[in-house]
Structure 1
Amino acid sequence: METVAAVVVTYNRLADLKKCLDTLREQTRSLDTIFVINNGSTDGTEEWLATQPDLRVTTQANLGGAGGFATGIDTAYKAGYTWLWCMDDDCLAAPDALANLLNSPNLGPCIKNSMSVSVNSRDELAFFVDRPNVSYRKVSDMAGLDLIYGVASFFNGTLVHTDVVKVIGIPDKELFIWGDEVEYMTRAQKMGFPVVTVPSSVFYHPASFDRDGIPWPAAWKQYYAVRNQRRVLQNQFGNTLGRVLFASWATKATLQQAMSKRTNRFYNFLLYGEATLDSLTNNFRKRPDTIRTLQLYKRNHK
């Protein structure tokens, strides 16, 4: 009999976490267990989780989404579950989301993702997908399709078969945030596992935003999106070509920041440059408090 464990990663969003867990407890296909990885929350999350006997909780230092899912997937995999259903704490699952994933066409060991719908605009996708010959922006763009190959919004209702984990391992905690989920998806594709979205399975999530437009000081998150992109390209194109493509893309993107009309473009330029250099020199050790551009910004904006 196939078993399913949910893996939920949370950090300082207790109200969102409670809503997310309520939707998991109300699934028409009941979960066999729910793992919650608490990334060192300081908002009362740890104390509240201690009062929830149906949850299997791990509390650790804040290792970002990458570190949270690395711990969660590793824990659930070692516990012997057939499928691992992974999500952030700000996701809301439709009542039949899990049942529809499991009842979708059998692809063998694979990764199946729920369709991510904007929580604020139920006719719009939370994450736009643009392909050479097709774009997915509205729910209607996906409606009526059984499976959409090569499209998935990790980790928002992402159902991973245990055999996939056995081959590709767990997410790389060194990536911290932003790009770790894409790296994991492309790693699975590189090893030949199908990655699909199942439109009949619905997840609600806050809509994506223009990352380049994040105001400072929160723009430090973009550092990880740039730095981690090299790993994604190397999964897709091989180590040598991927590295060359990253250097070309990152150089162009860094110069574009310098020429943009955005506020704080100087810091954006420095941030992109720092991320590019760190990626090319394989420096994946930095955490937010050691990003030099952020340190400079904070010194100049006391």
Structure 2
Amino acid sequence: MIYVVIPVFNRLEKTKSIVSCLREQTAKDFIHTIIIDDGSTDGTREWLIEQNDIKTIKGTGNLLWGGAVNLAFNYLEKIANYTDWVLLINNDVIIEKNYIKNLFNLAKKYYPAAIGSAIKNCNKTPEITSLTIKVDTWNLQINDELKNKKKYQSFDIAESDVLSGRGVIYPFEKIKQCGGMRPKLLPHYYSDYELSLRAKKVGLKLLVSLNNCVFSEEDFMKKKAERKKEKFLTKLLVRKSSSYFVAKIAFWIQASDWLGLITLPFRIIIFMIIPNRGSKLF
């Protein structure tokens, strides 16, 4: 069984879209969809109640991505077998009919592995907007390999340092070994990356399927520009911010080796003081 876990908050039309994609999958007989509705107010809850093929879990309204996914993991602890699989995906993407079948076949072929997905835009001539991710622990940088996409043209699959939750399949047994999510430390951003780091430490290869993509309407450059406009304290203290300092520190602790851990406090101070140095940490 492949359990498809989707956290949602409002955006009902996008939820309907990804559910429609799941119902058209060639592997639909092996799919069980779990949607965690974390306090939606746009009719999502009412619509989900009417869907007999979806298991709906009600959130508190304050879970965010990490907490919502962890709620689903707690549910799976009671019903799933060690041989089952978990597919994490967001409701703001669409997928082709063979997406899950292809991802599952890759997961079996490269086992033990977690298989993520490259991301393409939804234009008529879709272009890749995210490939594999490289983590530079010394300079506290997370870089997409998009700028080097030419070297991946002949690849079907590639290694990645971390995996996004926008479309990634894990063996459930490894999720159990990892201990699930850590929503108190990483409530939203970085929670998917940090999970994949721990999965790697329990023996999973982290791979990205370059041909089996998810499609997104999101403008990543626009979103990046919007984040720059956020107030400094908002960036640091708001749990949903991509610069939430607790989540960032928790991620870099998990990503670092022993030398990186010892020097991490000093490098954080240096990168915060010196402009354009390191990752522009906050």
Q: TM-score, normalised by structure 1?
A: 0.74
Q: What whole-Å deviation, never above 9, does each CA across 1:57-101 have from its counterpart, x for those lacking one?
A: 001112110101111233234321511111111121121111111
- Answer yes or no: is the 8 Å Cα contact 2:9–2:37 preserved in 1: yes
**Deviating more after overlay: 50-59 vs 113-122:** 113-122
Aligned to 2:26, the other structure's residue is in SS state coil
Q: Please name the residue that 1:279 is paired with.
A: none
Query: Which of 256, 267, 274 matches 1:237?
Result: 256
Taking the aligned partners of 2:38 and 2:191, their CA distance within structure 1 comes to 16
Shift of 1:106: 1.6
Give, in whole Å, the separation in 2 of the partners of 1:144 and 1:234.
34
> Which region of structure 1 is more displaced relative to structure 2, 208-217 or 93-102?
208-217
Q: 2:58 matched to which residue of 1?
A: 59
2:234 matches 1:227: no
**Equivalent position to 2:179, from 160, 169, 181:** 169
CA contact (8 A) 1:130 1:136 kept: no
Query: 1:172 deviation in Å?
Result: 0.7
DSSP-derived class of the 1:52 partner: coil
- CA–CA distance in structure 1, aligned partners of residues 249 and 154 of structure 2: 35
Q: How far apart in 2 are the matches of 1:129 and 1:227?
A: 21
Give the C-alpha shift of residue 128 in structure 1. Answer: 7.0
1:236-266 superposed Cα distances (whole Å, 9 cap, x missing partner): 3246732632x2343244335xx69xxxxxx
For residue 89 of structure 2, give the secondary structure of its aligned residue in structure 1: strand
Matches of 1:253 and 1:178 in 2, distance apart? 20
Q: How does 1:22-61 map to 2 (within 5 A)?
A: 22-30=20-28, 31-61=30-60
Tell me the residue number matched to 1:251: 269
Identical aligned residues as a percent = 18
Shift in alpha-carbon separation, 1:130–1:69, aligned structure 2, 3 A: same
Q: In the alignment, what sits opposite 2:140?
A: none
CA distance in 1, matches of 2:89, 2:210: 17
Q: CA contact under 8 A between 1:143 and 1:200: conserved in structure 2?
A: no
- Give the aligned residue type for 2:88: C
What is the deviation of 1:52? 0.9
CA distance in 1, matches of 2:153, 2:78: 36
Change (3 A) 1:119 1:252: farther
Question: For structure 2, which runs of at least 5 residues remain unmatched after alignment?
Answer: 137-143
**Aligned partners of 2:147, 2:255: CA distance in 1, in Å?**
24
Partner of 1:278: none
Q: Contact 2:134 / 2:160 at 8 angstroms: preserved in 1? A: no
Q: Which moved more, 1:29-38 or 1:118-127?
A: 118-127
Instruction: Please give the per-residue CA displacement for 1:34-71, whole angstroms capped at 9, x wherever unaligned.
Output: 00001111121111111111100001112110101111
Q: Which amino acid aligns with 2:96?
A: A
Q: Which has the larger radius of gyration?
A: 1
Name 1:74's counterpart in structure 2.
74
Find the partner of 1:125 among 119, 129, 132. Answer: 129
Residue 73 and residue 144 in structure 1: after superposition, are their counterparts in 2 closer, same or farther (change >3 A)?
farther
Counterpart-to-counterpart distance in 2, 1:138 and 1:52: 43
Change (3 A) 1:195 1:78: farther
Instruction: Tell me if 1:156 matches 2:156.
Output: no
Q: Secondary structure at the match of 1:222?
A: coil
Distance 1:237 1:115 in 2: 25
Q: Which runs of 5+ in 1 are unaligned?
A: 261-268, 273-302
Q: Is the 8 A contact 1:127 1:137 kept in 2?
A: no
Change (3 A) 1:119 1:74: farther
Moved more, 163-172 or 69-78: 69-78
Tell me what 2:119 maps to: 116
1:45–1:240 CA distance, 2 compared to 1 (3 A): farther
- Preserved contact between residue 147 and residue 197 of structure 1 (Cα < 8 Å): yes
CA distance in 2, matches of 1:35, 1:139: 34
**SS of alignment partner, residue 172 of structure 1:** coil
**Alpha carbons 2:118, 2:131 under 8 Å: kept:** no
1:90 aligns with 92
Q: Secondary structure at the match of 2:35?
A: strand
